[in-house]
Amino acid sequence: MIQFILMVNKQGQTRLSSYYNWLSMSSRVALESECIRRCLSRSELQCSFLEFRGYKITYRRYASLFFIVGTDGEEENELGMLEFIHTLVETLDKYFESVCELDIMFNLEKAHFILDEMVMNGMVVETNKANILRP
């Protein structure tokens, strides 16, 4: 099950976050900062998976944004999460017509709506771009 999804720029600033289990604000800030620091410090030659605090972290960099997905334990397939990230980026790209960091910042509500159409209670429920973007 997906525990959290983060969109982060290259400087480590969180642009979008979505949590599917309750965490206190202080726990979220600590989790985000340490997770972001670990993902951003890795080189491009290293794989896109790491284990951290009992979570399996899957991340991918697209242009100036890092998309980070945290899942619990052994239940989720890492390659499936990479495919989910790619589908999310393609959907955002289709909606915003070449998505960039500013699109996420200035249309945060719409980005959350798109993410909520794809993920419900930590489970991926829709991957068809046409169905996600249908009004």
Whole-model pTM: value is 0.92
Q: Which residues lie closer than 8 Å to 121 by C-beta, 6 or more apart?
A: 20
| Model pLDDT, residue 56 | 94
Coarse DSSP helix, strand, coil percentages of the chain, rounded to the nearest 5 percent? 45, 30, 30
Share of the chain above pLDDT 70, in %: 100
SS3 81: helix
| Model pLDDT, residue 121 | 93
| Model pLDDT, residue 75 | 78
Residues of the chain with pLDDT under 50: none
